[in-house]
Amino acid sequence: MTHSGFVALAGRPNVGKSTLVNHLVGEKVAIVSDKPQTTRRAIRGVATGDDWQLVLVDLPGVQRPRDPLTARMQARMQYELSESDAALFVLNGEQGVGPGDRFIAAAIREVGLPTVTAVNKADRLRRRGMVEALSAAGELDVQGEIFPISARTGEGVEDLQSALIELMPQGPFLYPPEERTDLPENVRLAELVREQVLARTRQELPHAAEVEIDELIERDEDGLLTVVARIWAETDSQKRILVGAGGRMVRDIGTAARIEIEALTGRRVHLDLNVRVRRGWRQDEALLDRLGID
């Protein structure tokens, strides 16, 4: 008899939710950075064992809606929590518990979901710091077990995974066992480009940039994959930064993203990348639809 179900990841931005999903799935399905709003789309990562399957829903971080983009992200998180079989509440052990964590704890209590709490970034903490972080996590009064883990090194993740599997209802697999994510390929590739943009930009640019794949062309003779992609910026000055002196920035982004895309697809890749301005793309509901942000 198999056990399977949906696990919604809840936690403030930057606590390590996406890193944890990737570790559990064993493949990079969600991009990671130290910038806010890295995760804009609800991404499902699928981890499958002999008789269990966890569908991990990596949600955008919780925040007050400021524009149609953040309003969609917020509505999505409430919807996913209500539709899931369990919540995986992730805290940053290095930072301790704050008002944002208490807000999310209250949301989880309200939905009444079975929950497992992870106190992450154990690799950055001494024993005493972790003991304090675990006790602060306990005071949040969310039901279920609490695990110290490092999503980066994998320490503690196996025990956490077993606890999640125990919370899953009996039932057939929800995805084919070999599937790792439900993201369409073009969105997955666009995210790999955006990850490199995030790694190289600061301040408002990480929020302002988005990536769209225009074309994917597979050549039959030698299997070369040509990816035509554009980076959207909101202003001309942002575009200048993204292009860089002599085109250096966009070239560096392209080189790094190409290596990631080659690793993911197992193909030789030509990445044709350019930067365009689209004022107010965050307000453009049609574009948000096309970019898969719903």
Which residue lies nearer to ligand GDP by CB, 56 or 86? Answer: 56
In the complex with Mg ion, the residue whose CB is nearer, 40 or 239, is: 40
Q: How far is the CB of 201 from Mg ion (least distance, A)?
A: 17
Q: What residue type is 251 in one-letter code?
A: R
209 binds ligand GDP per the rule CB under 6 A:
no
Closest to 219 (Cα-Cα) out of 259, 291, 269 = 269
Quick one: which of 4, 115, 117, 150 contacts ligand GDP (CB under 6 A)?
150
Residue 253 binds to ligand GDP (criterion: CB under 6 A) = no
Angle value at C-alpha 46, between 42 and 52, nearest 5 degrees: 135
Which one of 111-119, 149-157, 177-185, 196-204 is the stretch in contact with ligand GDP (CB under 6 A)?
Answer: 149-157
State the DSSP H helix or E strand holding residue 227, giving kind and residue range, or none if neither. Answer: strand 225-233
Work out which of 120, 161, 196, 201 binds ligand GDP, going by CB under 6 A.
120
The residue written with tokens 């979901």 in the block is: 113
- What x/- string results for residues 152 through 171 when contact with ligand GDP is judged by CB under 6 A? x-------------------
Q: Which stretch binds ligand GDP (CB under 6 A): 7-15, 156-164, 171-179, 251-259?
A: 7-15
| Span between the terminal Cα atoms of the chain, in Å | 34
How many residues of this chain interact with ligand GDP, rule: CB under 6 A?
A: 21
> Measured from the CB of residue 28, what is the shortest distance to ligand GDP in angstroms?
11
Q: Which amino acid is at 206?
A: P
In the complex, the smallest distance separating the C-beta of residue 15 from ligand GDP, rounded to whole angstroms, is: 4
Task: State which H helix or E strand residue 119 sits in.
Answer: strand 115-120
Task: State the residue number with the nearest CB to ligand GDP.
Answer: 16
Q: Given the complex with ligand GDP, which of 39 and 196 has the nearer CB atom?
A: 39
Token readout for 248 is 């250096």
Q: Which is nearer to Mg ion, 42 or 275 (CB)?
A: 42
Which helix or strand (DSSP H or E) is residue 211 part of?
A: strand 210-218
125 binds ligand GDP (CB under 6 A): no
Binding partner of residue 13 among ligand GDP, Mg ion, none, CB under 5 to 8 Å per kind? ligand GDP
Q: How many helices (H) and strands (E) does the chain have?
A: 10, 9
Strand order in the sheet with 115-120: 43-48, 52-58, 3-10, 86-92, 115-120, 146-148
- The candidate with the shortest Cα–Cα distance to 59, out of 35, 99, 27, 88, is 88
Q: In 3D, which of 107, 111, 3 has the Cα closest to residue 49? A: 3
Burial class (CB in 10 A: 0-12, 13-18, 19+), 236: exposed
Q: Does 39 bind ligand GDP (CB under 6 A)?
A: yes
What distance in Å separates the CA atoms of residue 123 and residue 214, rounded to the nearest whole number?
A: 40
22 counts as binding Mg ion under rule CB under 5 A: no
Among 4, 10, 19, 160, binds ligand GDP (CB under 6 A): 19
The reply on whether position 151 binds ligand GDP by CB under 6 A is yes
Residue 48 near Mg ion by CB under 5 A: no
**Interacting residues with ligand GDP (CB under 6 A):** 11, 13-19, 32-34, 38-39, 61, 120-121, 123-124, 150-152
